[in-house]
């Protein structure tokens, strides 16, 4: 067998496919970073400050502790704290007493911060438009593949654990025979398909580690 045949010739082998996927993801990451910098600096903010505003908008009235912000954004507590202070100085967020723990502080958006968060919310819409141009079935497949990749990165400690269905106590993978809606969410007591898997769900409650592993095995069909 020739070397070209062994390696898959000019198109490479399976290992090369993995490299190409990683290259493609890096290119998307580069585009996101560049868009984030341009959009943020045009508004006198840093990308981290934009991310904090977006995260607090997602959290709604309850706000978040600085430690939660750091975890959600995968930045150090010092970076989250520094960026939050900058947003306080700009009048876009404020710190309020935590209703459950009087010694702790929650960060919430001010009215001006809410307006700013609405304005910056669409910074990644160019990516949304690209994904929307795909057929629905490919969107669902892409979501499933990305969730599996994110889960692997979480297990390797490279990105923080987010509130995804696959780690949720309410998630029951392949609980139904319907291939269009095989999973079940016990929280809303309804079946759903791969296309509706959540990446960051406000109703998520972490499952016990053993249950997470079992659900993961069922989800990936191992
Ligand atoms: S509560 Fe949210 S994260 Fe949990 S299974 Fe239901 S949709 Fe998924």
pLDDT, residue 33, reads 87
DSSP classification of residue 168: B
Which ligand 1 atom sits closest to the C-alpha of 168?
4
- For residue 148, the CA-to-ligand 1 centroid distance in Å is 16
What is the atom index within ligand 1 of the atom nearest the CA of 167? Answer: 3
Q: Is 191 in the pocket of ligand 1 (CB under 6 A)?
A: no
Instruction: Pick from 185, 196, 216 the residue to mutate for probing ligand 1's pocket: most ligand atoms within 8 Å of its CB.
Output: 185
Q: Place 13 in a pLDDT band, splitting at 50, 70 and 90.
A: low
Is pTM, for the whole model, over 0.85?
A: no
pLDDT digits (tens, 9 = 90+) for 19-57: 999 999 999 999 988 988 888 888 899 989 998 999 899
Our measurement of the distance from residue 112's CA atom to the centroid of its chain's CA atoms, rounded to an integer in Å, reads: 25
- The closest-lying atom of ligand 1 relative to the alpha carbon of residue 169 is 4
DSSP 133-152: TS-HHHHHHHHHHHHHHHHH
Structural domains for the chain:
1-133 (1.10.10.10), 135-220 (no CATH)
> Does the beta carbon of 197 sit less than 6 angstroms from any atom of ligand 1?
no
Task: For the chain, give the longest Cα–Cα distance.
Answer: 72
pLDDT in tens, 163-211: 889 999 999 999 999 999 999 999 999 999 999 999 888 889 999 999 9
Cβ atoms 211, 169 nearer than 8 A? yes
What are 119-170's pLDDT values in tens digits? Answer: 888 888 899 999 999 999 999 999 999 999 988 888 888 877 778 899 999 9
Tokens in use for 67? 């430690």
Name residues whose C-beta falls within 8 Å of residue 209's C-beta, 6 or more positions apart in sequence: none
Distance CA 125, CA 147 (A): 20
């Amino acid at each position: 067998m020739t070397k070209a045949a062994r390696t898959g010739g000019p198109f490479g082998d399976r290992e090369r496919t993995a490299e190409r996927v990683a290259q493609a993801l890096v290119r998307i990451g580069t585009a996101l970073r560049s868009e984030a910098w341009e959009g943020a600096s045009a508004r006198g903010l840093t990308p981290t400050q934009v991310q904090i505003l977006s995260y607090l908008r997602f959290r709604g009235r309850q706000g978040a502790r600085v430690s939660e912000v750091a975890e959600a954004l995968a930045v150090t507590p010092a970076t989250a704290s520094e960026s939050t202070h900058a947003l306080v100085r700009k009048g876009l967020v404020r710190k309020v007493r935590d209703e459950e723990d009087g010694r702790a502080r929650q960060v919430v958006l001010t009215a001006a911060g809410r307006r700013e968060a609405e304005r910056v919310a669409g910074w990644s819409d160019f990516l949304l438009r690209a994904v929307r141009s795909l057929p629905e079935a490919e969107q669902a497949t892409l979501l499933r593949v990305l969730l599996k990749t994110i889960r692997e990165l979480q297990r390797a400690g490279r990105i923080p654990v987010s509130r995804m269905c696959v780690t949720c106590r309410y998630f029951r993978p392949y609980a139904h025979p319907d291939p269009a809606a095989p999973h079940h969410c016990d929280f809303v007591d309804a079946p759903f398909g791969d296309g509706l898997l959540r990446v960051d769900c406000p109703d998520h409650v972490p499952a016990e580690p053993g249950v997470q592993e079992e659900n993961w095995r069922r989800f990936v069909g191992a």
